[in-house]
Every structure is written in C-alpha cells, then in structure tokens.
Amino acid sequence: MTAELLEQLSRQTFETILLVGGPVLFVSLVVGVSISLFQAITQLQEMTIAFIPKILAIFATVFFALPWMINVMLSFTRNIIENIPTYVR
C-alpha cells in the first residue's frame, strides 16, 4: 500500500464521515442556537427547554435522511471491498 493510496483512502473515509454525520450535526447546531436565542430573549434559563426540541429535530433528520445515509455508507463499503486486491499489493 503506497502513501498516495493511503491518503486517498483516508480522504474518502473522512468525506464519508462528514457526509453521513453532517446533516444531523448541522440541524442540532441550528436548533440549539435557535433555542438559546429564544431563551436569551425571553430570559428563560431552564436547561430542559433545549433538550426536547433538539432530540425531536435530530430524530426527524435521521428519519428523513436515513435512506441517503445508508446509500452513502453502502457505496463507501462496496468501494472498500471491491478494492481490497489493490490495497493488498
């Protein structure tokens, strides 16, 4: 396995991680900032207020994006398995 091949494999791995985890993290960030802004405006400092909407938003994101996430992970896994002979050389 050459350094270039290892670099390419690492890059593909990190791209897949960002593609799969990115939407959930982005939605969590947006909902968290929105709830924090709402709490700052209304001066409600209850910690549990941010918890339920964030969980519901993450659940909805995973529910709607799961087929796409599975396709991305299957494509990456298929690519890894098909290229095993290349990696062994």
- Write the single-letter amino acid at 63: F
| CB-CB contact of 9 with 81 (8 Å) | no
Could you give the C-alpha distances from 31 to 6, 38, 52, 53, in angstroms and in order? Answer: 37, 10, 10, 7
pLDDT tens-digit profile of 60-81?
999 999 999 999 999 999 999 9
- Determine the pLDDT at residue 50: 81
- Determine the pLDDT at residue 5: 87
Residue-range definition of the domain harbouring residue 80: 3-88
Report how many domains make up the chain.
Answer: 1
pLDDT tens-digit profile of 3-54?
888 899 999 999 999 999 999 999 999 999 999 899 889 888 777 788 889 9
DSSP sequence for 39-74: HHHHT---THHHHHHHHHHHHHHHHHHHHHHHHHHH
pTM, whole model, 2 decimals?
A: 0.78
